[in-house]
Structure 1
Amino acid sequence: MTPPLILCIEDEPSLRDDIAAELGEAGYEVIAASDASEALDRLDRRRPDLILCDIVMPGMDGHALLAHLRTARTDLNHIPFVFLTALSSREQMIEGRKAGADDYLTKPIDYDLLRALISARLDQVARLRSADEIGAGSAALDQLTVGVVLLDAEGCVRHANRAARELAKRTGISLGSRMTAEGEDGRKLAALTARIASGSGTGAALWLEAGVRRVMVLGRPLASGPARDGAAAMLTLSDPEHQEALDADTLRQLFDLTPTEASVARFVAEGLRRDQVAARMGVSSTTVAFHLRNIFDKTGTRRQADLVALILSMPMA
């Protein structure tokens, strides 16, 4: 595992060397710079996990360097920036906080405190990054037209995407702390949930007779074990009588369609005839036919029925 990289900017050579030695013994990799100019050169070559910076330096001081980085190197904004200073006055700290500093350490350096501070700041960044990744994963699930419910090892719902929540509302399925249904459906669903959440089964499927609608539920444990967000198993829900077409913007991006072509493809997938598409868009049927030929070429289909089947078979919303 690659050790965290610390950039230490300090104009006093002996202190700079001492910091590098102490952090090296603690398991960190350290790159050093004697002033802001040298630090900017280091940052062009490598990306540290944390920056230690003296405030009083010749040329550009620590406050000016931080202000420059916050505007010119926004890609580094999530990297903790810690000031090293012999001045611990209230005014100095307020000024540094306003500039965007994450923390302070006063001189002479307490190396136990320095190691604890660095460890705490790096842990904080790791937690925030983990939360961002989980949030991004949840957002991606919300783009699926197939319902997805993630369960923890106890069978409790960790996340239900947009399609699952909407399908649950239409069919009377409950998506609270647990996914439940009435009567015999509820008993079958509870058994399936318990089996896959515990990891004792490889996967199973069942039909829920939700009133006049039938819902297909597929369940499987996550092979790699509980994920970072606690998910241990996944249920997918689909309604074979209700297939949703991709939106025009997604069609445009997937098949490199023009905005007009994407709108034509979407209307065709919704079941509109060519004359109805023309009326909806305020163009002639000949124009719609022209756009359809382009759409067929870009999607690799030959007929309108093939195009509709392609769009409805794709699970992205």
Structure 2
Amino acid sequence: MSVKILKNLSNIINAQKYIGRQTLYMLDFIGYGGVLLAENGYFIDINEIAELYFKIENNKNKEDLINSEGGREIIKHLLSLGNGRFTISENNLVVVERKDRRPLILHATVAQSPNFEGIHTLLILVDLDFEREIETSSLKIIFGLTEAEARLAKFISKGYTPSEIATDLNLSIATIRTQLASIYNKTRTRRQAELVSLVNKLSIIR
């Protein structure tokens, strides 16, 4: 997720002047972790993706994190690894570098008005190693691709080259190029980079 998208998401949330549990569901749907924080930094609630992240990285279950010192300490540790200052009283963007992995992005959005649930800040977790893939069935419905074309488009969107795909699928490079030409025509794209961008825009679709 780019910084621009993060800021746009914050603007949408702030425009509603309300941060609640429905926001966590929205973040789950688009593939990002979400944590609702009280003014003292305690966790009020987390979504499924954040819960999975903390389970894998910190061996903590949701019940270990909500309304406890444990959740606040984990965030403090992450922030100590980040590249900037952070306070839950301001909108912030912090990049946490990780060895042999892409960074984890922490983005805080402060509620503009009091919340009856005591929610003060929404903390968005963007794990750049997390990949949400579109189903081939969706590509078939949206663009009228065949099963083989949808599978190829998905491979291309994940960064594979035509020659790598041909080897993996035990197909000739000529067959791959023919299928790719058909995909370009049906998706109204002209090059692989454009196709990758288009398919990735659809990763929100289940």
Q: TM-score, normalised by structure 1?
A: 0.42
Distance 1:250 1:233 in 2: 38
1:260 aligns to 2:154 (yes or no): no
Q: Kindly provide the amino acid, as one letter, of the partner of residue 248 in structure 1.
A: E
Distance 1:139 1:210 in 2: 27
Q: Kindly provide the amino acid, as one letter, of the partner of residue 30 in structure 2.
A: L
The Cα shift of 1:284 comes to: 4.1
Q: 1:316 to 1:303 in 2, by over 3 A?
A: same
Distance 1:142 1:253 in 2: 24
Percent identity of paired positions between Structure 1 and Structure 2: 22
Distance 1:237 1:225 in 2: 23
**Tell me, what secondary structure is at the counterpart of 1:226?**
coil
1:142 aligns to 2:31 (yes or no): no
Q: How does 1:97-246 map to 2 (within 5 A)?
A: 140-152=26-38, 154-155=40-41, 156-162=43-49, 164-168=50-54, 171-172=57-58, 176-177=65-66, 178=71, 180-181=73-74, 185-186=78-79, 192=86, 194-195=88-89, 201=90, 203-211=91-99, 213=101, 214-223=103-112, 225-226=114-115, 231-240=119-128, 242=129, 244=131, 246=133
Q: 1:294 to 1:135 in 2, by over 3 A?
A: farther
**Tell me, what secondary structure is at the counterpart of 2:193?**
helix
Q: 1:165 to 1:261 in 2, by over 3 A?
A: farther
- Whether contact under 8 Å (1:153, 1:226) holds in the other structure is no
The Cα shift of 1:277 comes to: 2.4
Distance 2:76 2:113 in 1: 33
Gaps of at least 5 residues in structure 2 are: 1-19
The Cα shift of 1:218 comes to: 0.9
Larger relative contact order (Cα-Cα within 8 Å, sequence gap ≥ 6): 2
Which one of 282, 285, 288 corresponds to residue 176 of structure 2?
288
Distance 1:151 1:141 in 2: 15
After superposition, the C-alpha distances for 1:134-166 in whole angstroms (9 at most, x for unaligned) are: 99875553332333333345542412232x344
Q: Kindly provide the amino acid, as one letter, of the partner of residue 74 in structure 2.
A: A
Q: 1:237 to 1:299 in 2, by over 3 A?
A: farther
The Cα shift of 1:270 comes to: 2.2
CA RMSD of aligned residues (A): 4.1
- Whether contact under 8 Å (1:245, 1:269) holds in the other structure is no
The higher radius of gyration belongs to 1
- Which piece of structure 1 moves more, 290-299 or 174-183? 174-183
- Whether contact under 8 Å (2:107, 2:125) holds in the other structure is yes
Distance 1:180 1:262 in 2: 44
- Whether contact under 8 Å (2:24, 2:35) holds in the other structure is no
**Tell me, what secondary structure is at the counterpart of 1:142?**
helix
Counterpart of 1:305 in structure 2 is 193
Distance 2:156 2:48 in 1: 27
- Whether contact under 8 Å (1:269, 1:311) holds in the other structure is yes
